[in-house]
Amino acid sequence: MVRAFCLLLTWVISASFAADIFERYHWVLGPALPQPVQEIYPALLGGSIVVAGGLKSTEDGGIQVLDSVLTLAPGAGQWEQMAAPIIPEVP
């Protein structure tokens, strides 16, 4: 009985916390990336969203690996192109 009460209390606290989070934070539609890209893994860096690399379909049906780095600062209306990273050649 005590275990069931603890589980119920934990669920109630978790549900209350989740409701608070959902009230304060929500998804909004931002600006589109400047080009179609797939297989991206965005990250947060200094409050900005960073998208590095990805794959892009080519006109001949192939896939191009991108070396681009894009950032989106809070409140910005568009993505900013950053300098491409230096990737060493593997012999």
Q: What pLDDT, on the 0 to 100 scale, is given for residue 21?
A: 62
Look at residue 90 and give its three-state secondary structure.
Answer: coil
Say if pTM beats, i.e. exceeds, 0.75.
Answer: no
7 pLDDT above the threshold of 50: no
What are the tokens at 52?
Answer: 């590095």
Q: What pLDDT, on the 0 to 100 scale, is given for residue 60?
A: 95
- pLDDT tens per residue across span 61-77: 999 998 889 999 988 88
List the alpha helices (DSSP H) in the chain.
Answer: 2-24
Question: Where do we find the tokens 């192109």?
Answer: 81
Give the residue extent of every domain in the chain: 2-82
- Angle ∠(81,87,89) on CA atoms, nearest 5: 150
Distance in angstroms (rounded) separating the CA atoms of residues 48 and 79: 10
Confidence of residue 3 (pLDDT cuts 50, 70, 90): very low
- pLDDT tens per residue across span 9-51: 444 555 556 666 667 766 778 899 998 899 988 899 888 999 9
Distance in angstroms (rounded) separating the CA atoms of residues 14 and 83: 43
